[in-house]
Structure 1
Amino acid sequence: MVDEHVHDAGRDAILAALRGVVDGIAATFGPVCEVVLHDYRKPEKSVVAVAGEVTGRAVGGAMSEIGMRVLARGDEAADDLNYVTRTAAGKLVKSSTMVLRDSTGAVFGALCVNVDVSAVNEAHALLGALAGLGAGPAEPPVTAFGNDIDSVVDAILDAHRLGRHQSWAALERAERLDLFRRLDEHGVFAVRRAIEQVAARLGISRASAYSYLAQARAATDPTPAGGHA
């Protein structure tokens, strides 16, 4: 069996090799481009290199909710290319997230490219209006980018609660389990201390939060009782 230190050394070498790539891609595309290198072994401080300024990321910053979803999928995660999202400040961003794997195929990080396409979108809308075209595509979702992991978790929690305009006390049991299931799918509980943070925001005990999470996971587990994963 290969020592875990050997795997870590290999992962560190991959990250070191990509630091120059981060600067190169950002320099090629200019001021509208931001490139971020993540090490998911430390999600609260996953950003190990950044070039450009689009989402306000900084070295030592936390992963975004996009990174949390990758972390939740584990080694089943795949590259997500050319998706469009919007920052809380209103910037329209076209992004690609490319997962990093070690020699065993395990996902341990990601290389992310973010391009601010706000000006392009405004020009497209203006040309469409001049040409008499109909409404544009649906509004892209807002993504929580932040250097503080707690603020990212809060943003995800708010997005999943406010859509219902209901308090925790007003939710039925099935709705409560669905909330925990959706938070789990977004990778929230892969972050250390997130269960305590969610419990505090919902006004419930940590034990209750763990119970709801366990029940939500059991309800979505495809493995039948007595079966094998």
Structure 2
Amino acid sequence: MSTTVEADDLFESVRPLVAGLAATYGPTAEIVLHDYRNPEASVVAISGAVTNRHVGGAMSEIGLGLLAAGPEAEDRLNYLTRLPDGRLVRSSTMLLRLRGQVVGALCVNLDVTALRQAADTLTAMAGPLEPAPVTVFSDDVDQVVDAVIAEEGGCDRADRADRRRIIAALDRRGVFAVQRSAARVAEHLGISRATLYNDLARVRAR
């Protein structure tokens, strides 16, 4: 069997995937089957209208670059491009090979403009995507107090200066508004409640 016939058979076997994938992805998708043997009219099957091409249409510059790479060409997956009218398209170009040679490609183009606009709107509503502090929500106030103490670095046998720094931070965060928090803070710091109250008075007097 000649190489030409083998290539024709390959394209005929892949052709049904075009309509099937387009139906799966929906109206914002375009599936294109390219025959790289004819760059000027490489589109041999197409379903969808993202790029407004038709059967007999030419290769894109991306396809031309892959064709130029020859046997060393690799699939290009999940890349983003912008059409001249401003729409955003996420694409994958999956190469078809015959006896090690690239003879064509099956391309998936998804118009993600509306998705990107929705994502931008949601991002604006949710605020900037930056690290958010962990907040403990609990029915047990002791768990909340413990979490704040741990976050401020409470530990046994802290020296006096560090201990007072921790106590001042806990006071700023309202820990001592909880009646039984003093006992828990004293336990965490390894001091008596009398020492804790003395330190608390000193940091509040500054």
Identity percentage of aligned residues:
55
Offset of residue 39 of structure 1: 0.5
Q: Deviations for 1:11-41, whole angstroms, at most 9, x for unmatched residues? A: 1001011111000000111111100000011
Question: Counterpart in 1 of 2:170?
Answer: none
1:62 and 2:71 correspond: no
Q: 1:106 aligns with which of 98, 101, 110?
A: 101
Question: Counterpart in 2 of 1:176?
Answer: none
In the superposition, the TM-score normalised over structure 2's length comes to: 0.61
Between the two proteins, the alignment pairs up a number of residues equal to 130
Q: 2:128 aligns with which of 117, 128, 133?
A: 133
Which portions of structure 1, spanning 4 or more consecutive aligned residues, are displaced by more than 4 angstroms? none
Q: Deviations for 1:58-102, whole angstroms, at most 9, x for unmatched residues? A: 100000011011011111111111111111111111100000001
Tell me the C-alpha RMSD between the 2 structures: 1.4
What letter corresponds to residue 40 of structure 2 in structure 1? Answer: E
1:127-166 equivalences in 2 (<5 Å): 127-133=122-128
**Hey, what's the Cα distance between the residues in 2 that align with 1:27 and 1:94?**
17
Q: 2:27 aligns with which of 27, 31, 34?
A: 31
What letter corresponds to residue 130 of structure 1 in structure 2? Answer: M
1:195-214 equivalences in 2 (<5 Å): none
| Greater RCO, 1 or 2 (C-alpha within 8 Å, sep 6+) | 1
- Runs of 5+ in structure 1 lacking a partner? 135-229
SS at match of 1:31: coil
- Runs of 5+ in structure 2 lacking a partner? 130-206
In the superposition, the TM-score normalised over structure 1's length comes to: 0.55
What letter corresponds to residue 121 of structure 1 in structure 2? Answer: R
1:90 and 2:61 correspond: no
Q: 2:36 aligns with which of 25, 29, 40?
A: 40
